[in-house]
Amino acid sequence: MSVTIAIAVFIISYIFIMSEKINRALVALAGGVLLLLTGVYQWEDAVTSYIDWNTVALLFAMMVLVAITKKTGVFTYIAIWLAKLVKGKPIPLMVGIGFLTALGSALLDNVTTVLLFVPVILTLTNLLQLPTFPYLLTIILTANIGGTATLIGDPPNIMIGQAVPHLTFLSFLEHTAPISLLLLVLVLVLLSVWFRKQLKQIDSTRIHDLMQMKESQYLKKSPLLYQSLSVLLLTIIGFLLHPVFHVDLTIIALCGAILLLIVSEKEVDTDKIFEQVEWVTLFFFIGLFMLVGGLEEVGVIDELARSIMWLTEGDMTNTALLLLWVSGIFSGIVDNIPFVAAMIPVIEEFETYGMTNLDPLWWSLALGACLGGNGTLIGASANVVVAGLADAQNKPISFVKFMLYGIPVVILSLIISTIYIYFRYLLPFQQPL
């Protein structure tokens, strides 16, 4: 009976999350509470075993850091500076925004990055009378690609990094950053080809208006600017030095957030900063962990692992590549966060079936989930956020139109990832020592 309840609650919750009719955090939490009420597991199990508080706390800390830094206007300053640098030329502006979004997604996280840059881009495209869709599409695609590069860049990577302690910030830089950079260049070239006719040279008057803008007026040169940038830089350095000092990433991020709150207390109202934290996202994670915990409790995860092992006959190459493509396809259909939450215990279960080196599987899951999120508007959290911001400004993004561009990008990304994973991880694994 518990198995039926856990599966039914998970599937129904998934359907409601996909439909976006009800707030997804509310759906996930309701599903988790229903599992508690029906006795699938106890509250103590949910709190101590299934909810990954490290992931929740890490996301919270990064949200606080960015919320304070945003008040300095530095992100608006950078976007306007970039637009002036390329003299408002549509294609160079799109490419520059793509690189900027990818960099921000790698160093902060992709949800935070799109929240910062989308309003600025909508303002710039209105000023220059450019179509918004190519730029919003570029932001979504490059946010997910850039987020793939680091441990903190995309929620699935955060979840994998927390689940596998030896996969550090530097590990992601070494293993996922190279292919992310390659895909970023290829996708920006592809976007430039697709939109070369739409993004033609614009009226000189519009260019003049842009060049007259003073980006410095958006930058608040107060102590807060130097405090926030210094602490943000120290936090990123702390992530890089994690293998040296062995301090947990969550502790590093929380220390950075608390330090910045303390040093900026005279200029920033802590209550206001906490109001800007994306609580819906955090509670969505909590509910999601509870839903997946129900499947784990009743043995569904164990059975799924056995099925994959049976299908691939335990062959590392087949398992890794199947995982890459399944992750990529499913992450395009549904949000990649619940998919990764469900797959982490599945991969951990493979160890009990004789697989000793699981790293190729972790990299396959990370690449598939993060890159597959570009397939549809609900494929990743960043996509949903951009679509919401665009709707609020009467610039809606068509679900079908997005898919026409997103799916080819995902297929290209998965093909290149297949080649990368095979030659970097699987071919050496097959060769005898």
- Beta carbons within 10 angstroms of residue 94's beta carbon: 23
The one-letter amino acid code at 333 reads: I
The DSSP letter of residue 48 is: I
**With 50 as the cut, is the pLDDT of residue 433 above it?**
no
Tokens read off for 124 = 């710039």
Residues in the chain: 433
Average pLDDT rounded to a whole number, residues 154-173: 88
The one-letter amino acid code at 177 reads: A
Task: Measure the CA–CA gap between 68 and 273, rounded to whole angstroms.
Answer: 7
Task: Measure the CA–CA gap between 69 and 130, rounded to whole angstroms.
Answer: 29
**With 60 as the cut, is the pLDDT of residue 431 above it?**
no
pLDDT in the model for residue 305: 66
The DSSP letter of residue 335 is: -
Tokens read off for 408 = 């080819």
CA separation (Å) from 296 to 9, 17, 55, 243, 341?
A: 13, 20, 18, 31, 11
Closest listed residue to residue 39, CA positions, set 74, 1, 96, 71: 1
The one-letter amino acid code at 31 reads: G
User: What is the band of 407 on the pLDDT scale with cuts at 50, 70, 90?
Assistant: very high
Q: What pLDDT, in 10s, does the model give residues 186-229?
A: 999 999 999 988 887 666 777 777 777 777 887 888 889 899 98
Average pLDDT rounded to a whole number, residues 179-192: 96
Looking at the chain, the whole-number percentage of residues with pLDDT higher than 70 is 97
Average pLDDT rounded to a whole number, residues 399-412: 92
Looking at the chain, the whole-number percentage of residues with pLDDT higher than 90 is 27
Average pLDDT rounded to a whole number, residues 110-118: 80
pLDDT in the model for residue 334: 64
Say which residue the tokens 């994973």 belong to: 421
Could you tell me if residue 299 is left (phi over 0), alpha (psi between -120 and 50 degrees) or otherwise beta?
A: left
Given a contact cutoff of 8 angstroms between Cβ atoms, the answer to whether 184 and 102 are in contact is yes
Q: What pLDDT, in 10s, does the model give residues 310-338?
A: 788 778 888 899 989 988 988 777 667 77
Tokens read off for 169 = 């910030």
Q: Please spell the DSSP secondary structure of 62-91, one letter per residue.
A: HHHHHHHHHTTTHHHHHHHHHHHHTTT-HH
- Would you state the torsion angle of the CA atoms of residues 161, 165, 168, 172, taken in this order, to the nearest 10 degrees? -40
Task: Measure the CA–CA gap between 62 and 54, rounded to whole angstroms.
Answer: 12
Q: What pLDDT, in 10s, does the model give residues 227-249?
A: 998 998 898 888 778 767 778 77
Tokens read off for 396 = 């809606």
248 by Cβ neighbours in 10 Å (0-12 / 13-18 / 19+) ranks as middle
The residue among 304 and 34 whose pLDDT is bigger is 34
Tokens read off for 409 = 């990008």
Task: Measure the CA–CA gap between 21 and 12, rounded to whole angstroms.
Answer: 13
Task: Measure the CA–CA gap between 155 and 171, rounded to whole angstroms.
Answer: 16
CA separation (Å) from 402 to 73, 341, 384, 398?
A: 30, 26, 12, 6
Average pLDDT rounded to a whole number, residues 362-369: 94
pLDDT in the model for residue 206: 72
Given a contact cutoff of 8 angstroms between Cβ atoms, the answer to whether 268 and 71 are in contact is yes
Q: What pLDDT, in 10s, does the model give residues 331-357?
A: 777 667 777 887 888 888 888 777 778
Average pLDDT rounded to a whole number, residues 74-93: 82
Q: What pLDDT, in 10s, does the model give residues 373-401?
A: 898 887 777 887 788 778 777 888 888 88
Structural element, H or E, at residue 213:
none
Q: Please spell the DSSP secondary structure of 253-301, one letter per residue.
A: HHHHHHHHHHHTTTTS-HHHHHHHS-HHHHHHHHHHHHHHHHHHHHTHH
Task: Measure the CA–CA gap between 423 and 425, rounded to whole angstroms.
Answer: 6
Mean per-residue pLDDT over the chain, rounded:
85
- Beta carbons within 10 angstroms of residue 212's beta carbon: 8
Half-sphere exposure of 349 (CA within 13 A, CB side): 17
Tokens read off for 14 = 């998934």
The residue among 281 and 363 whose pLDDT is bigger is 363
**With 80 as the cut, is the pLDDT of residue 406 above it?**
yes
Closest listed residue to residue 338, CA positions, set 402, 393, 384, 390: 384
For the entire predicted model, the pTM comes to 0.78
pLDDT in the model for residue 291: 87
Could you tell me if residue 38 is left (phi over 0), alpha (psi between -120 and 50 degrees) or otherwise beta?
A: alpha
Q: Which of 55-59, 174-178, 237-241, 289-293 has the highest mean pLDDT?
A: 174-178
Break the chain down into helix, strand, coil percent, rounded to 5: 80, 0, 20
Closest listed residue to residue 374, CA positions, set 342, 344, 417: 417
